[in-house]
Structure 1
């Protein structure tokens, strides 16, 4: 279940439903996308508009289906499913902890941490995406059961790609237009590029509020809205560089999609990327300097491809499926040839 069935969360949930077809997957959700159109689910139900009713809806849906596990994706679903002691095991996948956001007020971060610490008592297994996120989970509860689940691309991995020969090199970012993804960073990057006479075109794949969209477009950035996976593959196939602007993350699927498309990648220097060899930058000034160096220096450009390809050695379908299977087994739901689970 999730309150944000869109973007990376929806794609992660769809992957689970497709990789474990022997399990019956039911979805309780809200969001801009429709899981009935994208995943392999046995049933789909939308949350009511009243957030207070959602606490009861989780329990009622679980009883109705006689589910054997609840898999809660992101923080609101984690709250709805764990605020009261659950009657079935709960797997909690935060997709990045809100209290890890360095741009939030310290007092708010402390409040979020305390809430997560309380909820951790009602968690069977926490699914972390990186060592950094696992450390955060243990910081909430030193006795927590935490498993690292390597994310995987949501588009097919290409065997070979020729460097783009476009006259105007296209730089792409994929994500929700939300504060976490820091569209302001991307706007600054586009403005710096224009001010320095660099020939780049900037594209944002994703959507958000009208004001956020207008702000990006005012900076000369093309905003495509959300695209189907095959359309994302097409846009990435002609991208010169992928730049990830988010200022905190779990581990973004879009970076893995860029790696699968063999697009060179630049990311911000975040804890989730500490164990990678991706090209990292601190701020828009360093990012534009790095892009300029990649444009004028073929050897440096080639080096920006390496980190993404190394990611795919461990973040792949086989590893992902093995870990998922063991997580569900450890949650003790594998009681029958036909398993029943609900995502919330």
Structure 2
């Protein structure tokens, strides 16, 4: 098969997922149409040899839709796999036009939101309703929904049906490949103990929540240090200022090796996201072996209940217990088993099979 991947946020977890999908199914030809229009930094580099072709997606919506149509006409992919909400809109509008206009040939569309825009807690309710409405309108143009986590699957199923029948939805879980550079169980905490967040400094990651949690931990353990591994996205510098005023170190962007070294030296990682798809950072922290606490949001219900917190007070209490005992009391085996490369590959293969209407054994290279 020939698979065209389209995304307008080729960075961070989305870029990692797209690269992994291609690497895990080398029996197919993979093409890439991409940009990072939703971020302030350049898209990440593509791994040599993974994509048969990679071209830049225009940032203007109309031009992006036309670029998808041109790519489909020129390269004739068997399926088009859209990653992120805006790319999902471009691809499905392009497919609708190709169905309607003479001389065009629409291709099946797979859609992975990597966190729905209508889940955002930093925008007004009317805008969330608008985004949800757009997803409902576009969902019938989806051949197969490919969410990256259980919560995203529930939201996708709730969007409705297509022409009186349900759109197939298959969870393709986020994973780290076996050759990921994070060394398994390489946790080596330094003294004094340091509690950290690994993320961009954005409203989604809620720096104010971490500031309040740090304040409560300091009241009981003045020796504990705090760090935010990452940096802002260039849109709101007041968020990094908030951390600095609370005496929380913001490392800035680090190279891969330095990033993993700094993570391994933490005594505890706290994931403070207000909403999410399923973050790669959680999987990377798990591989390194650092104790981990996550916010009790729907996207992270797969994480053990003992690892989840709802308020800064609860986060601080659980953090103090881990800092005192020196180990992670949560049992993560269930999550680890459900986020493996083999499972991702099997689910992805099943999704591509469904999209073209062939049983698994009949899908050929």
In structure 1, C-alpha distance between the alignment counterparts of 2:8 and 2:87, rounded to whole Å: 6
Deviation digits for residues 177-197 of structure 1, max 9, x if unmatched? 332222332233344445552
Aligned to 1:317: 341
Of stretches 204-213 and 248-257 in structure 1, the one that deviates more from structure 2 is: 204-213
**2:307 maps to 1:302:** no
CA separation of 1:36/1:128 partners in 2, compared to 1, >3 Å: closer, same or farther? same
- Which of 21, 40, 46 pairs up with 1:16? 21
Report the alpha carbon displacement of residue 103 of structure 1 after superposing the two structures with TM. Answer: 4.7
TM, length-normalised to structure 1: 0.87
Aligned to 1:71: 81
**2:124 maps to 1:124:** no
TM, length-normalised to structure 2: 0.82
Query: In angstroms, what is the RMSD of aligned CA positions?
Result: 2.5
Aligned to 2:134: 115
In structure 2, C-alpha distance between the alignment counterparts of 1:328 and 1:173, rounded to whole Å: 36
Aligned to 1:292: 320
Report the alpha carbon displacement of residue 133 of structure 1 after superposing the two structures with TM. Answer: 1.8
CA separation of 1:42/1:269 partners in 2, compared to 1, >3 Å: closer, same or farther? same
In structure 1, C-alpha distance between the alignment counterparts of 2:259 and 2:24, rounded to whole Å: 21
CA separation of 1:213/1:321 partners in 2, compared to 1, >3 Å: closer, same or farther? same
In structure 2, C-alpha distance between the alignment counterparts of 1:192 and 1:51, rounded to whole Å: 46
In structure 1, C-alpha distance between the alignment counterparts of 2:200 and 2:77, rounded to whole Å: 31
Residue correspondence of structure 1 range 133-172 to structure 2 within 5 A: 133-142=152-161, 143-153=166-176, 155-156=180-181, 158-161=183-186, 164=189, 166-172=190-196
In structure 2, C-alpha distance between the alignment counterparts of 1:11 and 1:119, rounded to whole Å: 25
Aligned to 2:269: 242
In structure 1, C-alpha distance between the alignment counterparts of 2:258 and 2:107, rounded to whole Å: 39
- Count of matched residue positions in the alignment of Structure 1 and Structure 2: 333
Report the alpha carbon displacement of residue 315 of structure 1 after superposing the two structures with TM. Answer: 0.6
In structure 2, C-alpha distance between the alignment counterparts of 1:108 and 1:34, rounded to whole Å: 27
- Which of 103, 112, 118 pairs up with 1:93? 112
In structure 1, C-alpha distance between the alignment counterparts of 2:335 and 2:260, rounded to whole Å: 18
In structure 1, C-alpha distance between the alignment counterparts of 2:168 and 2:308, rounded to whole Å: 31
Report the alpha carbon displacement of residue 205 of structure 1 after superposing the two structures with TM. Answer: 2.6
- Give the SS at the match of 1:72: strand
The answer to which structure, 1 or 2, has the higher relative contact order (CA under 8 A, 6+ apart) is: 1
Report the alpha carbon displacement of residue 78 of structure 1 after superposing the two structures with TM. Answer: 0.6
In structure 2, C-alpha distance between the alignment counterparts of 1:34 and 1:133, rounded to whole Å: 24
**2:230 maps to 1:202:** no
- Give the SS at the match of 2:191: coil
Aligned to 2:299: 272
Kept after mapping to 2: 8 A contact 1:268/1:282: yes
Report the alpha carbon displacement of residue 96 of structure 1 after superposing the two structures with TM. Answer: 1.4
Report the alpha carbon displacement of residue 158 of structure 1 after superposing the two structures with TM. Answer: 4.3
Of stretches 84-93 and 315-324 in structure 1, the one that deviates more from structure 2 is: 84-93
Kept after mapping to 1: 8 A contact 2:187/2:265: no
Of stretches 17-26 and 171-180 in structure 1, the one that deviates more from structure 2 is: 171-180
